[in-house]
Amino acid sequence: MADEQQNLPAQTTQAGVPEQVVKPGSPIGDRAIKQLWLIIILAAAIAGGITLFNWAKEPAYKTLFADLSGRDATKVMEALGKINIPYKIDNSTGAVMVPSGQVYEARLKLAGEGLPSGSGRGFELLEEEQGFGTSQFVETARYNHALESEIARSITQIQSVESARVHLALAKKSAFVRDQGKSKASVVVNLYPGRGLSDGQVASVVHLVASSVSNMEYEDVTVIDQRGRLLSRNNEDGLMAQSTRQLEYRQSIESMLISRIETILTPFIGDGGVRASVAAELDFSFSESTREQFDKEGVVRSEQTSEETNSGGVGSGGVPGALTNQPPTAAGLTSGESAAGGGGNSTRNAVRNYELGKTISHQKSSSGEIKKLTIAVVVDDMPAKDGGESQPLTQQQLDNITALVKEAVGFDEERGDRLSVMNASFKKPSKPVVEEPGMLEQPWFMDVVRIVAFALVGIILVMVVIKPVIKALIPKIEPKVVAAPAPAPVMAAAGAEPVAPPPQIEKQVTQFDSDVDKAREIASEDPALAANIVKSWMEQES
């Protein structure tokens, strides 16, 4: 019976491996379980390493633009896709983020395309659906906000303006004309670095806002910039506004003359070799005169002549009566008349009208006339042609420069103008020291941190996880001491006492020899089991 049981085939699993082989507790089953754990741990370590590598390879992202409207964000993402710059959206803030090394490049390219346009939403607010219970106050507030946004959009079309905000204080409408109030507005403009608005541009902004709102005068519009400077001067009184205009006019005259001097001397001396200063004294007085002058000789305009002549003797006349009939006495013969003969008289009248020439002149002197100029010019040494050291100017060269400056500014000695030209050696400005950003601000710093973190985690994973697991799975070979059988006692010669056997000789047997012995025991006890094990090994290898 024992032999029949030994000849029975060993039970096998579904995989074809004997059940006794994979049974926990057996040497071969324990080794298979350890190999399975080794595969699982190695797979987890490889997956963790790949994940860490991908994390280290991914660049660090920084915020490109935040608080963008949906329309601007869409345009920005489309533009980034066209220029092949990767981007992602921050799920918490909605900001558009790009790799840290391409932030400034992306901003420059987007600015060239005019993105983002900004200025919020305008009348798009009115296109949204409003609830059934929306009050009139909410509708009015939405309309006012939409109007402010639309005006701000129009202001940002000016090249020097980066963004703008408009605040409107609209007057309430009244049925009574005398109770009609005036609307007011305030504008805050954010200018690009290094740019400004001229007086004409500020006036255009003021009139744009005043024309966009009913019942608003341009005096009620205030414009300031991001530094808090008042740009509009609508509220200044007459004297202050006039003084400001006079100062600006004087500065413009001085700047123009300085520019003329530098323009005419720079080709000879070189860039940065001329320094000029002009002080202009202007006459802002205003005068108006009217003059009327008559010519000394007149011209006959009209002439009227009348002539009356009486001829013949003296006729009868007088008072009727006796005296009339008597002859005249000697005393009565007067006025060249003789008593003997008759006489006559003549009368001639002439009237001439003369027209005198008259000249009327109306003279009005202009304001801002130059009364006096004071000019100072400092010229650097003449640069050498061969690139050597510069040489001081000669007196002839200084005289030529003086003549050029006089012609450029319109020098007038009778007006009292003064000019001073001096030669001096300029100190060359040292090259500006550009401070490099710190190591923490470098774009490659985060990449280095990722690589170092990846290396440290990999080393820790190998030393702490993989190496101990492999060391635990590999059996430790230790020498095993096995006692050898005691040798037979040596027989002594005839008549002699038996010789004691030598001490036992210890034989060192390795673990491998022990395993081989154990395998031999299994093969001797159950040959069928050993045959099945060898067969399964051969199938696995094939």
> d(Cα 486, Cα 124) in Å, to the nearest integer?
108
pLDDT at 342 exceeding the cut of 60: no
> d(Cα 432, Cα 491) in Å, to the nearest integer?
109
Model confidence at 7, pLDDT cuts 50, 70, 90, reads very low
pLDDT at 483 exceeding the cut of 50: no
CA-wise closest residue to 47 among 467, 473, 461, 446: 461
Q: Which residue has the higher pLDDT, 528 or 392?
A: 392
**Distances from the Cα of 290 to the Cα of 284, 361, 384, angstroms:** 20, 5, 62
Model confidence at 477, pLDDT cuts 50, 70, 90, reads low
Q: Looking at residue 255, what is its pLDDT?
A: 93
pLDDT at 313 exceeding the cut of 60: no
Task: Tell me if 64 sits within 8 A of 96, measured CB to CB.
Answer: yes
Model confidence at 309, pLDDT cuts 50, 70, 90, reads confident
The runs of H, that is alpha helices, within 156-275 are 199-212, 238-269
Mean predicted lDDT score pLDDT of the chain: 75
Q: Looking at residue 5, what is its pLDDT?
A: 42
23 CB neighbour count, 10 Å cutoff: 12
Distance from the first to the final alpha carbon of the chain? 36
Q: Looking at residue 120, what is its pLDDT?
A: 55
Q: Which residue has the higher pLDDT, 354 or 163?
A: 163
> d(Cα 534, Cα 213) in Å, to the nearest integer?
100
Q: Looking at the whole model, is its pTM more than 0.75?
A: no
Q: Which residue has the higher pLDDT, 204 or 71?
A: 204
Model confidence at 376, pLDDT cuts 50, 70, 90, reads very high
Domains of the chain in start order, with CATH, are: 61-113 (3.30.70.1530), 137-172+180-236 (3.30.300.30), 249-285+367-423 (3.30.300.30)
Task: Tell me if 502 sits within 8 A of 487, measured CB to CB.
Answer: yes
> d(Cα 401, Cα 139) in Å, to the nearest integer?
71
**DSSP letter for each residue of 341-375:** S---EEEEEEEEEEE--EEEEEEEEPSSEEEEEEE
pLDDT at 6 exceeding the cut of 50: no
Q: Which two tokens stand for residue 495?
A: 């008549």
pLDDT digits 0-9 by tens, 393-437: 899 999 999 999 999 999 999 999 999 999 988 877 767 666 776
